[in-house]
Amino acid sequence: MNDLVFSGVQPTNQLHLGNYIGALKQWVPIQHDHRCLFCIVDLHAITVPQEPRELRQNILDVAAAYLASGIDPKRSTIFVQSEVPEHAELGWIMGTLTKMGELERMTQFKDKSAKGGMGRAGAGLFTYPALMAADILLYDTSAVPVGEDQMQHLELARVLARRFNERFGETFQIPQALIQKHGARIMSLQDPSKKMSKSDPSDTSKILLSDTADIIRKKIMRAVTDTAGGVTYDADKKPAVANLMTIYHQVTGLTMKQIETEFDGKGYGDFKKALAEAVVAHLEPITKRMQEFRSDPHELLRILDNGRERAQLLAAEKMKLVRSRVGLGR
Ligand code: AMP
Ligand code: TRP
């Protein structure tokens, strides 16, 4: 039984607190008892149009965010998806096993294609879950730590692994999702019914890992709260406050009960002030380390070279087996 962990983030726009809490922060402790691969999934990023120069910057920014968050390149492999071509190759094979109906049900595709209509959406955006399945299966991954929005994609990866194994013989391990109880879905600071999202045009809806302390304070002080007062956790009746409490829980390590006790009898103003300071204190060293990695990219590039070599070895070996199982080549 393999105990490998794989996850990835798309190098699109700037990373926000939802990405950090839902993904990066969760990865850090896992690397102490698992072999981990953390990928910067640039092939996924181009399923919607990207400015080439910006994409290249974003790839390095995400790598810097991984390292600054505490991913240790001595323990974990950090690499760029497109630098290991086997991802695209297995993605194609997975696409041949995927049914149109399965892809049509994907809520992320429905959301992302809603504006222009399905007929105008790129075919790559449609088949993206097959590529994501390939990313995971290529390394015989056992667990995939992600935010809740990726559950549906992960379920498809499991289906495709079983389908391949049934058709061509035991080849892939069936991966499992690792989803946190509190923090798998951080919501917009302006609308607690929507997830915090890179593509949200409202700046105040999200806290970016690159935000200064003052901007973070302003955004938190402007966050919406609920009409019912009191800092108590109730996701149904007080979704905005529950979201802020989730963030506070994540950056301080306090339980919901402890947070309720701390703010018993206090108003939202006091809570938001404490929350802002806690988020600033948590993110400040991360933001600083990100800037250091970005201002001297040598170290970053060396780590990514190293990561590519390690991932490449594993991927090449697996693809040999896959090609032979499918009957490709001579
Ligand atoms: P993406 O930016 O779509 O590449 O997402 C990268 C990772 O962040 C994935 O594991 C997502 O599930 C996670 N993620 C994105 N948005 C949120 C959010 N609002 N709350 C929690 N996790 C999130
Ligand atoms: N689809 C994921 C997202 O949008 C990113 C991703 C691509 C991923 N391949 C992956 C996540 C493999 C985990 C494992 O967030």
CATH class of the region 4-179+297-326: alpha beta
Fold of domain 203-291? Tyrosyl-Transfer RNA Synthetase (1.10.240)
Gap from CA of 271 to ligand 2 centroid (Å): 34
pLDDT value at 6 more than 80: yes
Is 149 close to ligand 1, i.e. is its CB under 6 Å away?
A: yes
Is 65 close to ligand 1, i.e. is its CB under 6 Å away?
A: no
Is 186 close to ligand 1, i.e. is its CB under 6 Å away?
A: yes
Question: Residue 2 forms beta bridges with which residues?
Answer: none
Name the residue with higher pLDDT: 115 or 302: 302
Is 10 close to ligand 2, i.e. is its CB under 6 Å away?
A: yes
pLDDT value at 52 more than 90: yes
The arithmetic mean of pLDDT across residues 280-304, rounded, is 96
Which residue owns the Cα nearest ligand 2 atom 3? 9
Ligand nearest to the CA of 24: 1
Can you give the residue ranges of every domain in the chain?
Answer: 4-179+297-326, 203-291
Ligand nearest to the CA of 247: 1
Burial category of 70 from C-beta neighbours within 10 Å (exposed 0-12, middle 13-18, buried 19 and up):
middle
Average per-residue pLDDT for the chain: 96
Which residue owns the Cα nearest ligand 1 atom 6? 9
Helix axes 151-168, 123-137, angle to 10 degrees: 70
The arithmetic mean of pLDDT across residues 268-284, rounded, is 98
Gap from CA of 257 to ligand 2 centroid (Å): 33
Task: Point out the residues that are catalytic.
Answer: 112, 195, 198
Confidence (pLDDT) at 74: 96
pLDDT value at 2 more than 80: no
**What's the rounded Cα separation, in Å, for the pair 288 and 305?**
23
C-alpha to C-alpha distances, 28 to 14, 102, 143, 216, 308, nearest whole angstrom: 20, 33, 14, 23, 20
Q: What is the percentage of the chain residues whose pLDDT exceeds 70?
A: 99
pLDDT value at 309 more than 50: yes
Q: What is the DSSP string of 227-243?
A: SS-SS---TTT-HHHHH
